[in-house]
Amino acid sequence: MDELTRRTFLRSSAAGAAILTTPGLLGCARTRGSSPPVNGPPGQADAVPPAKSPMPPSEQQALTWFNVDKSTLSRALSELSSRGADAADLYFQHSRDNSVTMEDGIISRATTSVDQGVGLRCVIGDQTGYAFTEDLAPEAMYAAARTAASIARGGKAIAPVEFAYHDHASYYALPNSWSDVSINDKIPIIERAAALARQLANGREATLEKVTVSWVDSEELVLIADLDGRIHTDLRPMTRLWVMLTARKGDVVQSNSANLAGRRGLAWFTDAQLEKVAREAVDRTMILFDAIRPPAGEMPVVLAAGASGILLHEAIGHGMEADFNRKGTSIYSDMIGRKVAPDFVTIVDNGTQEFERGALNIDDEGTECERTVLVDNGVLASYLHDNISAKHYKVPSTGSGRRESFRHTPMPRMRSTYMENGPHTKDEIIQSVKRGIIAETFTNGVVQIGAGDFTFYIKNGWLIEDGKVTAPIKDINIIGNGPEALRNVTMAANDSKLDFGGWTCGKDGQSVPVSQGMPTALVSKLTVGGENA
């Protein structure tokens, strides 16, 4: 971070710039791949573990970057709380995104986008006054603060005179900033991924017609100052590589993809990692030529380890976010301490896994992240809380207050959501199924947060007959209810792992990066939309 003060040219280009949106929204996403078992040491699957560097930017480095001082912060907070406030904060953010797309060996697109601004929040009970500005001049901030304060009625709160910098854990410090990595360092990696895909497809019955590789890297600097006089900073890296293939066999054309993502650096993209993502893309595409659609109807569904975490996230995890429960929207709103799953099911949301896409040193309110047990041996143990819901429930925040950018207010959000290992094995689960399917990769879905009703589209999977995997399947829906499916988990294997794809969760118009995963698990009955008999 020594170069922060030398990059001032970026400030002048920040106002009004668009933020690059990474593909892969939960509920309408492409997911692929798996990382280390979630019960094992974080980062253990890295071919070359990223080296650790010093902590995120110091208080002074961040203040210098945003060209503000503590007296400006104090004045802005004073304006923000001038009509009363239970809480107030300033959220400064600078983000930069680079993207490169290569199609059939030709770079077809390369972009850089920069965004910068500050969000100003005033909280009175359950009400929030919010304003933001891309102009970081003091008078612009003070004017925005007065706008946000307009919801308040009551005596003036006392703004801090002194500030204390709060240190925190560092889960994704990198040896080099993405700002210092040249496009010339990225293109060979993109080319290598494409070459590996073609090499691995060579000799297959189908022929690759199109290979597209997309690359994204980003960096986000955050400075948070609050009414209690606390200052927090964070530097958040992110990268994602996505391999998309189209193949032809006679008159039949099939397409599929794989991607890997995380808060990683350039050294993560080793040949082993690139071969893994290329192989998954090739295998998932080529198997579609032999895949069938299974008979429709209600049957047991085996959720494959890793990628099936999308169902856990969407159909169950959102229902455990505290705002839905505080408003009585979620089916779980009166179920803390009650049985919601079999004894062997434990579900966790964790912001502390090193280098994972869903990891956070602090949430967007400045609270340190933690490992939050949502379901403990079948019993609902906790919701995911931001500061507002934590105050309502009279519990500490779980460090789950997240926002898409300085233009948005924080709300309870998932970070990395997964089910822990169960007592069974994958083979035992498959052998227990007389007639059913394995749901392996998901592409999109629809979920009703309140009741938990869902429909998910399965791109790849397998048919199980008499306890054996007999044929690949494709293009089917599974339909059910999240809380009911959780109760109907009859077996869970000891192979829990996170999906390493680039998932982005959408909620109330805001998108944030997340991770998810689970072990191989058997749901005793779900409706499968396949071929009619």
256-315 pLDDT tens trace:
999 999 999 999 999 999 999 999 999 999 999 999 999 899 999 999 999 999 999 988
What are the residues whose beta carbons fall under 8 Å from the beta carbon of 447, sequence distance 6 or more?
A: 27, 314, 315, 318, 453, 454, 482
% of the chain residues with pLDDT over 90? 80
Is there a contact between 238 and 218 (Cβ–Cβ < 8 Å)?
A: yes
Distances (CA, A) of 56 to 170, 374, 479: 7, 29, 44
* pLDDT for res 532: 63
End-to-end CA distance of the chain: give it in Å, rounded: 63
- The backbone torsions φ and ψ at residue 464, rounded to the nearest 5 degrees and listed phi first, read -115, 125
Please provide the DSSP assignment of 249-264 as one string: ETTEEEEEEEEEEES-
What are the residues whose beta carbons fall under 8 Å from the beta carbon of 355, sequence distance 6 or more?
A: 42, 43, 46, 50, 171, 172, 262, 263, 264, 268
Q: What is the mean pLDDT of residues 446-462?
A: 90
Average pLDDT, the chain: 89
Is there a contact between 474 and 461 (Cβ–Cβ < 8 Å)?
A: yes
Q: What three-state secondary structure class fits 305?
A: coil
CATH architecture of 4-19+26-33+55-289: 2-Layer Sandwich (3.30)
pLDDT at 486 over 70: yes
Q: How many CB atoms lie within 10 A of CB 13?
A: 14
Half-sphere exposure of 334 (CA within 13 A, CB side): 1
Tokens matching residue 149:
């304060």
* pLDDT for res 444: 78
CATH 3.30.2290.10 region(s) of the chain? 4-19+26-33+55-289
Alpha carbons 14 and 18: distance in angstroms, whole number: 9
Alpha carbons 168 and 360: distance in angstroms, whole number: 10
49-71 pLDDT tens trace:
333 334 568 899 999 999 999 99
Alpha carbons 128 and 109: distance in angstroms, whole number: 40
Write down the residue that tokens 């709103």 correspond to.
333
